[in-house]
Structure formats: structure tokens, C-alpha cells
């Protein structure tokens, strides 16, 4: 069978894969939650959820520093990677030996597309369709939760960097009624403190940079009429089954801000 990935590249599989390596945390969690515990033979060292998977499945390096020889030794019949998170040269090397299916997720619709396509490839079509439907229905509960508040979403410190448009984070913000303060910029631009004028909130994410209370203290005095808030970065940036947790988290966050 021929399958198209999200980079519009074709892979060929002769059967439903029985030895899968997933290089991306949110996708590894998704495959596990789909019921592919026995098929998942390799994950990255950042694939920490669920704990049972992290403790029981072989780890093959970091998302950008893969252990190619370890991957070869596991003899996968399918590797699942991501355009943004993995290094192109390493992926190209792996393609010489194994089928590699690549995701490219910059919106909630992209996430659903990834989930459905992997469900079909891995023999879990019914389960993937049910999960996507459940997420779509649950997201209706938070469609205008934040009532068009302007939010700057920080992902890095010194230089300060934020999530702008054409990112999965921005897509999640839109879904719950947030206006991205940097809606006129793309991807992950560097910004200055002065650029925050007019924002209602600044969300300081727990990943990839681990913002904490001391960063709020550093920034709060520099921007008037803006509230700085620590947020769980996994909730805004992990796609797949992690999205099942998102509506309840967003409701809790809204209550914190009230």
C-alpha cells in the first residue's frame, strides 16, 4: 500500500506496521493511546507521557540528535517524524533504510489529519476517528472562553521569542477565543518589551524554555496593564491524544485569570 505523509511524500508499506519508532513526544503518546503499545519499539528521550511508555520503550536519542545505529538495531518497519522537530539530514539518512512518515502540524486541522492518517496506516482507523470526533466536540465547550483577549505567548527568553501565526500554538489560541498579540507576524519572531504594549496577558510557557515565577517578577514591572501568567506548554503545543486534556485545562486557566 502507498501512503502520503504531510510533506506530500509517498511511503510504501506491505503490511500493517508491527515495529514502529516515533520520534516526537505528542505522536508517541498518541500511538500509545490508540492501543499500539506492543507495536511501539522506539521513542525519543523527550517522549515522557505516558510514564509507562517512557519507562518501558527503548529510547533512540533526542528529537534533533537521533541515535541512528540504535534505530537500525531496532529494525522498525515504520518511523514517524516531524518536519519542525527533526533534523532533515538525519531523516534523509533513515529513509535509506526504512519507511519514514513525516508530519507537519501547524494547526488543529493538521493535527486531526495526522491522527486520522496514522490511524489508517497503523490499523486503528476506527479508534482514530472516534478520538478526533471526541476532541472536536469537547473543543466546542471553550470556543470563546477568553472573549477576544490579546495574548502574547512566550516560548523563549533572552532573546524573547513568541508564537505568532502559522503555528499550532496560534491555532489553539484562536480556538478558545484568544487574539494573538503578534497576529501580524509569522512563526516564532524575536520581540522586545516595547512590542508588548496593548497586550492583556503574556503567557509564559513551560516549554521549550522553562519559564517560572522569577521571570514574571523580571517582566511584570516593565509592562503596564498586562498580566504575566505561567502556562503549561504541553497543553498548547502537544497534538494528538493530549488534546483530550485541553478543554479542562483551558477552563482551569480561565478561572485562574478571573
pLDDT of residue 148: 93
Which one of 138, 160, 190 terminates a domain? 138
Do 129 and 26 have their domain in common?
yes
Whether the Cβ atoms of residue 246 and residue 235 lie closer than 8 Å to each other: yes
Half-sphere exposure of 173 (CA within 13 A, CB side): 28
Which one of 113, 138, 163 terminates a domain? 138
Ranges 25-39, 132-146, 161-175, 209-223: which has the least confidence? 209-223
pLDDT of residue 190: 98
Domain harbouring 189, CATH code: 3.40.50.1980
Kindly state the average pLDDT of the residues 149-164: 97
Question: How many Cβ atoms sit within 10 Å of the Cβ of residue 217?
Answer: 10
pLDDT of residue 182: 98
Q: pLDDT band for 228, please (50, 70, 90 cuts).
A: very high
Residue 145 has pLDDT above 90, yes or no: yes
Kindly state the average pLDDT of the residues 156-169: 97
pLDDT of residue 223: 83
Cα gap 61→54, rounded to integer Å: 13
Kindly state the average pLDDT of the residues 3-27: 97
Number of domains composing the chain: 2
pTM, whole model, 2 decimals?
Answer: 0.95
Q: Could you give the angle at which helices 108-121 and 25-33 cross, rounded to 10 degrees? A: 50
Kindly state the average pLDDT of the residues 233-239: 97
Do 130 and 216 have their domain in common?
no
Do 30 and 106 have their domain in common?
yes
Cα gap 152→180, rounded to integer Å: 6
Cα gap 177→146, rounded to integer Å: 5
Kindly state the average pLDDT of the residues 87-93: 98
Kindly state the average pLDDT of the residues 238-248: 97
Q: List the domain range (segments joined by +) for residue 64.
A: 2-138
Do 28 and 104 have their domain in common?
yes
pLDDT of residue 137: 97
Do 149 and 104 have their domain in common?
no
Residue 133 has pLDDT above 90, yes or no: yes
pLDDT of residue 3: 97
Do 128 and 167 have their domain in common?
no
Kindly state the average pLDDT of the residues 109-118: 98
pLDDT in tens, 36-84: 999 999 999 999 999 999 999 999 999 999 999 999 999 999 999 999 9
Do 92 and 200 have their domain in common?
no
Whether the Cβ atoms of residue 58 and residue 41 lie closer than 8 Å to each other: yes
Half-sphere exposure of 115 (CA within 13 A, CB side): 30
Ranges 77-86, 185-194, 220-229: which has the least confidence? 220-229
pLDDT of residue 221: 78
Residue written as cell 510557557? Answer: 205
Kindly state the average pLDDT of the residues 201-221: 93
Q: pLDDT band for 95, please (50, 70, 90 cuts).
A: very high
Ranges 38-47, 126-135, 204-213, 220-229: which has the least confidence? 220-229
Which one of 85, 107, 138 terminates a domain? 138
Q: Which three cell numbers stand for residue 251?
A: 477552563
pLDDT of residue 177: 97
pLDDT of residue 171: 98
Amino acid at each position: 500500500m502507498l501512503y502520503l505523509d504531510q510533506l506530500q511524500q509517498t511511503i510504501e508499506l506491505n503490511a500493517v506496521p508491527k515495529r514502529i519508532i516515533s520520534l516526537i513526544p505528542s505522536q508517541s503518546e498518541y500511538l500509545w493511546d490508540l492501543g499500539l503499545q506492543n507495536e511501539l519499539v522506539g521513542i525519543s528521550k523527550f517522549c515522557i507521557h505516558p510514564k509507562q511508555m517512557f519507562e518501558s520503550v527503548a529510547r533512540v536519542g533526542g528529537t534533533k540528535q537521533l541515535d541512528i545505529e540504535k534505530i537500525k538495531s531496532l529494525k522498525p518497519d515504520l518511523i514517524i517524524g516531524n518536519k519542525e522537530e527533526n533534523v532533515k539530514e538525519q531523516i534523509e539518512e533513515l529513509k535509506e533504510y526504512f519507511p519514514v512518515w513525516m508530519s507537519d502540524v501547524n494547526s488543529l486541522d493538521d493535527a486531526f489529519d495526522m491522527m486520522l492518517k496514522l490511524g489508517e496506516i497503523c490499523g486503528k482507523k476506527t479508534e482514530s476517528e472516534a478520538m478526533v470526533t471526541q476532541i472536536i466536540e469537547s473543543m466546542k465547550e471553550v470556543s470563546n472562553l477568553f472573549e477576544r483577549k490579546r495574548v502574547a505567548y512566550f516560548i523563549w527568553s533572552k532573546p524573547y521569542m513568541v508564537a505568532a501565526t502559522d503555528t499550532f500554538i496560534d491555532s489553539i489560541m484562536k480556538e478558545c477565543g484568544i487574539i494573538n498579540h503578534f497576529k501580524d507576524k509569522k512563526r516564532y519572531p524575536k520581540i522586545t518589551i516595547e512590542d508588548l504594549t496593548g497586550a492583556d496577558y503574556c503567557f509564559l510557557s513551560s516549554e521549550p524554555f522553562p519559564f517560572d515565577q522569577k521571570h514574571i517578577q523580571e517582566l511584570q514591572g516593565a509592562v503596564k496593564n498586562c498580566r504575566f501568567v505561567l502556562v503549561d506548554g504541553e497543553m498548547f503545543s502537544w497534538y494528538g491524544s493530549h488534546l483530550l486534556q485541553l478543554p479542562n485545562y483551558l477552563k482551569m486557566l480561565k478561572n485562574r485569570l478571573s
